[in-house]
Chains A and B, each alone.
Chain A
Amino acid sequence: MSVYDERMGRRQALIRLSQAALAGVAVVGGAGLLLDRRVARAEGLTIPDWRVQATGPAAKAAAARGDDPARNVARALAALGGMGQFVKRGETVLVKPNVGWDRLPEQAANTDPDVVAEIVRQCRAAGAARVLVADISCNDPQRCFARSGVLAKAQAAGAEVLDARQLKLVPAGLTGAAAGLEVIAPLFEAQRVINVPVAKHHSLSKATLGMKNWFGVLGKGRNRLHQGIDRSIAELAATFRPTLTIIDASRVLLGNGPQGGSLDDVRAVGAICAGVDPVLLDAWGAAQLGLKPSALAYLGEAERRGLGHADVALVRELGKA
């Protein structure tokens, strides 16, 4: 008897319809379950926006120059209205320096420890309950934090210092080239995040400044972002919106970056720039390396995404103390 058999009885037709309905429910339900699981995995935790609304007519960025990195930090922040404009009593602040390399401060591959320490002190003075200093280093993390001087000076200033051995990684809702990568958990504990890169040469992107510094919050697999690095950097900048960016140009690395090593590649600039526009900050950092902002392809991409303006004339230059 075929399914098209006109002689099929009512009972048989009902059985067949029931079987078809059951099969349909199983297929649709199963697909739905699988889809839900896949979406949940891709979403992860949403990266917070740590920016604060400016309350006064302060500049978008201010740069201070002089031989004392800590004093330069204090002056640049004062020109923006002080750390109290950005950090409130009781908040947890994450400070993200570049501590990627087993190098001494003189080699300019990492953020200067005096810069990190002064930012920690400023946060504490503004009433921060906790200040975390964290980075995922490329070289051995213990050596990087010790040799850079960041561990000792940031701890002495009142920070909790976390290297890759202590950092927990969690799934995050990253998009683009970074989709699926994990990020460090303190990003979700902090109400405020301060990005503190050192200005230096990078063999792929020509410079590593604030936006590239976000590589250091990403977990395993971040290397794939080096393919199409300019787009990847702009994507990260669109995802991670810090409260402040503070570029350390106390010493800059002009060649053999990002790891450096030779003191011949280092130049003492003695400058710090702090601000709220990450594109502007990176443009200023590029200038300290002798580069025009237009030389950095990712800056143009970030500008097109509306993340800021690469016009260094917008930086309030405070000069030497």
Chain B
Amino acid sequence: MTSPPFRTHHAVLLALLAGVVVAVLAPGRVLRPEPADVLLALQAARGPALPPPGRAGAASASPVTRYGKETLADVIDGAAEAYLARGFTAAAFATYTFDRAGAAPVEVAAEAHRFQTEAGAEAQALAERPPRATAVAGLTAASSDGSVLVARAGRELLKLTLLSPGAAGAEPLAALASAWKKETP
């Protein structure tokens, strides 16, 4: 049995195959992403995130409930229209409980919203900013009046509402916002 003669089109096919192999292998060798970047990308794909209670200094948190464009009004009623107009895409809600020695626990309602653009998140943050809010020390793009805190990171917006007015709420609000910022892409 004799092998078939080597022809020009065999050479072309071999070259194509070699090109495919190079295209597949080369990026994997050159662009190996950092594990932290992969984690952030995965978190971003999952939707807006709220920090685990321990990282915010909270004793516990309710299960996170998630909402999209179709369901946001279920949880914030007519206020949803303003969010949708500004490019809202997804949200996560939870309530945190902070224990205090010798006093009743402090509860904080947390809402993390994601928008299509930074401009959308910024516009909503401005709209949600309490009238007498001031900048929160140590946190960029965050303001609070002691009962509500609004913060922004990129196209993510965090809104915290103290559910125990009269209590010393500034500290838990700031701690929660700080933990959120660290976890937000």
What is the size category of the interface that chain B forms with chain A?
20 to 34
> Are the C-beta atoms of A259 and B165 separated by less than 8 Å?
no
CA gap between A264 and B165 in the complex, in Å: 11
Per-residue CB contact flags for chain B residues 68-85 toward chain A (1 = under 8 Å, else 0) read 000001111111111000
In the complex, what's the smallest C-beta–C-beta distance from B164 to chain A, in angstroms? 7
Q: How large is the interface on A (under 10, 10 to 19, 20 to 34, 35 or more residues)?
A: 20 to 34
Partner of A261, one of B74, B131, B161, B164: B161
Interface residues of B in 69-113 (CB under 8 A from A): 73-82, 95, 109
- Is B145 among interface residues, defined by CB-CB distance under 8 A? yes
Asked whether A265 lies within 8 Å of B163 as measured between CB atoms, the reply is no
Contact B131 A204 (CB under 8 A): no
Q: Which residues of A contact B (CB under 8 A)?
A: 100, 102-104, 106-107, 138-140, 143, 147, 202-205, 208, 215, 223, 226, 229, 255-259, 261-265
Ranked nearest first, the 10 interchain pairs of A and B with the lowest CB-CB distance are: A261-B161, A204-B78, A223-B73, A262-B130, A262-B148, A261-B148, A264-B131, A203-B79, A263-B147, A138-B77
B95 and A107 form a contact (CB under 8 A): no
CB distance from A221 to the nearest CB of B (A): 10
Residues of B within 8 Å of A261, CB to CB, are: 109, 147-148, 159, 161-162
Q: What's the A-B contact tally at a CB cutoff of 8 Å?
A: 75
Interface secondary structure of A, over-half rule: loop
User: Are the C-beta atoms of B132 and A264 separated by less than 8 Å?
Assistant: yes
Find B130's partner among A104, A257, A264 (CB 8 Å cutoff). A264
Partner of B79, one of A102, A139, A215, A259: A259
**A100, A106, A256: the one within 8 Å of B77 (CB):** A100
Nearest CB of A to B41, in Å: 32
Closest to A103 in B: B163
The one of A139, A205, A264, A265 that contacts B78, using a Cβ cutoff of 8 Å: A205
B161 surroundings in chain A (CB, below 8 A) = 103, 261-262
Q: Nearest-CB distance from A179 to chain B (Å)?
A: 19
Bound form: Cα–Cα A213–B99 in Å: 36
CA distance A265 to B133 in the complex (A): 12
Q: Which of A107, A226, A229, A255 contacts B165 (CB 8 A)?
A: A107
